[in-house]
């Protein structure tokens, strides 16, 4: 990688059709696990003008009104009735009910350590976890800022400071790096969806976004836009329609925005809509947990942890770390310590993070919050894989 480079990451607000589909899928996971923590559930959603489609495969004792869950999620983001009428929209479902014996038959927390080897994965995947010193959350700066701008847009709309905004907006933040260290904000882009019969003119939108969103977001940031930072707001003009009225959505198309904003690798598998028995979801959390603890321990300024799983195995068939030349000790020693103090078996991950029971412990659900706010690096709630409680063990 060159000594100086520009990197840009994208995020979207909660009403973006792709994010809506992730939220519907994860809201279903929450509902199944609340009623039956040993459910197996895979859900995928699609949305377009006046229609929601949900495909789900499950083995569960739960009785979930799938159509109602989908309608409730879309209604909660704030579209006007004329833009998306959740009471009147068509909800199409394609459901496969699996035999009851395919439910999870044991609570992983009750398994002895030796028994975890009998609890094997059901799919094969190579996945990644990453951490760096750009931010207090140990996340890459471009996606962290893009997420913050997206949240700022949602707050400006919901608090009435910019009521003409649609729930569907897109953000980008570009950051200049020198020797892999962020040095300045190159650009901020906002694609602001609008609603209402008479949206304001571009000059007012730009002034409001600068005052109500961009200035607020960067007020407490170490790096702030400077006189050369380019601010792009609806560069192709005002969009007369947004959300499902304008473009369709599907589960799993915003995985990059949910993880590292493409600054670091991810498996490309959808994270949303999967119960904890899916290693492509929970293994991503375990890899992030490991990478974050390595960086928190001061063993490297950047760390990527790669885990590869194969069918019929409980443990990863390979573990690899990369510190991009920032390690303070030999990478081989870091990997030895990692394998000594972290258990990457599927049953151990589920048990350690309490992944079956978190939806039942939260009134508003657990997994749907991840779909809306991002799966990694966030501080809106206590995410077990964001703890740095093993940093001392690695020293």
- Phi and psi at 27, nearest 5°, equal -65, -35
Q: Is the pTM of this model over 0.75?
A: yes
pLDDT > 90: percent of the chain:
82
Model pLDDT, residue 390: 96
Equal fold, 4-12+140-243 vs 17-107: yes
Model pLDDT, residue 381: 61
CATH 3.30.300.10 fits 109-134+252-394, yes or no: yes
**DSSP run (H or E) holding 258:** helix 255-258
Q: What is the pLDDT of residues 107-152, one digit of tens each?
A: 888 888 878 888 899 889 999 999 999 999 999 999 999 999 999 9
For 2-22, what is the mean pLDDT? 95
Q: How far apart are CA 284 and CA 296, in angstroms?
A: 18
- The pLDDT confidence band at residue 62, using thresholds 50, 70 and 90, is very high
| 153-166 as b/e: b if 16+ CB within 10 A | bbebbeeeebebbb
Q: How far apart are CA 195 and CA 208, in angstroms?
A: 15
CATH of domain 4-12+140-243: 3.30.300.10
Q: Across the chain, what does the average pLDDT equal?
A: 93
CATH of domain 17-107: 3.30.300.10
Res 338 pLDDT > 60 = yes
Q: How far apart are CA 380 and CA 376, in angstroms?
A: 11
- The pLDDT confidence band at residue 379, using thresholds 50, 70 and 90, is low
Model pLDDT, residue 189: 96
Q: What is the pLDDT of residues 259-314, one digit of tens each?
A: 999 999 998 789 999 999 999 999 999 999 999 999 999 999 999 999 999 999 99
Closest CA to 243 of 306, 167, 319, 172: 167
- The pLDDT confidence band at residue 1, using thresholds 50, 70 and 90, is low
- The pLDDT confidence band at residue 236, using thresholds 50, 70 and 90, is confident
**DSSP run (H or E) holding 250:** strand 249-250
Q: How far apart are CA 258 and CA 124, in angstroms?
A: 21
Domain-wise residue ranges, the chain: 4-12+140-243, 17-107, 109-134+252-394
């Amino acid at each position: 990688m060159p000594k100086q480079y520009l990197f840009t990451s994208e995020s979207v607000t909660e009403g973006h059709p792709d994010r809506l589909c992730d939220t519907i899928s994860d809201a279903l996971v929450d509902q199944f696990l609340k009623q039956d923590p040993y459910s197996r559930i895979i859900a995928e959603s699609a949305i377009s003008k006046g229609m929601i489609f949900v495909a789900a495969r499950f083995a569960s004792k739960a009785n979930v009104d799938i159509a109602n869950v989908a309608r409730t999620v879309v209604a909660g983001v704030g579209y006007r009735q004329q833009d998306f009428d959740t009471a009147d929209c068509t909800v199409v479902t394609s459901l496969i009910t699996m035999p009851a014996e395919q439910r999870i038959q044991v609570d992983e927390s009750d398994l002895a350590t030796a028994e975890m080897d009998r609890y094997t994965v059901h799919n094969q995947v190579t996945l990644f976890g990453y951490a760096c010193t750009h931010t207090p959350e140990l996340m890459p700066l471009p996606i962290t800022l893009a997420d913050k701008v997206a949240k700022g847009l949602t707050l400006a709309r919901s608090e009435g400071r910019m009521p003409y905004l649609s729930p569907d907006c897109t953000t980008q933040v570009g950051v200049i790096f020198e020797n892999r260290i962020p040095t300045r904000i190159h650009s901020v882009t906002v694609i602001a969806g609008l609603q209402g019969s008479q949206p304001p003119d571009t000059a007012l939108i730009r002034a409001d976004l600068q005052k109500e969103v961009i200035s607020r977001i960067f007020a407490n940031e170490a790096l702030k836009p400077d006189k050369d930072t380019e601010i792009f707001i609806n560069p192709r003009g005002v969009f007369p329609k947004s959300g499902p009225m304008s473009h369709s959505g599907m589960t799993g198309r915003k995985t990059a925005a949910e993880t590292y904003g493409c600054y670091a690798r991810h498996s490309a598998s959808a994270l949303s809509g999967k119960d904890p028995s899916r290693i492509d979801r929970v293994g991503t959390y375990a890899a992030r947990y490991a990478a974050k603890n390595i960086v928190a321990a001061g063993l490297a300024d950047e760390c990527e942890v790669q885990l590869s799983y194969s069918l019929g195995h409980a443990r990863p068939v390979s573990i690899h770390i990369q510190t991009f030349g920032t390690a303070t000790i030999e990478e081989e020693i870091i990997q030895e310590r990692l394998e000594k103090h972290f258990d990457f078996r599927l049953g151990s991950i589920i048990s350690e993070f309490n992944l079956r029971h978190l939806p039942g412990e939260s009134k508003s659900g657990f997994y749907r919050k991840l779909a809306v706010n991002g799966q990694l690096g966030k501080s809106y709630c206590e995410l077990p894989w964001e703890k740095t409680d093993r940093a001392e063990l690695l020293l």
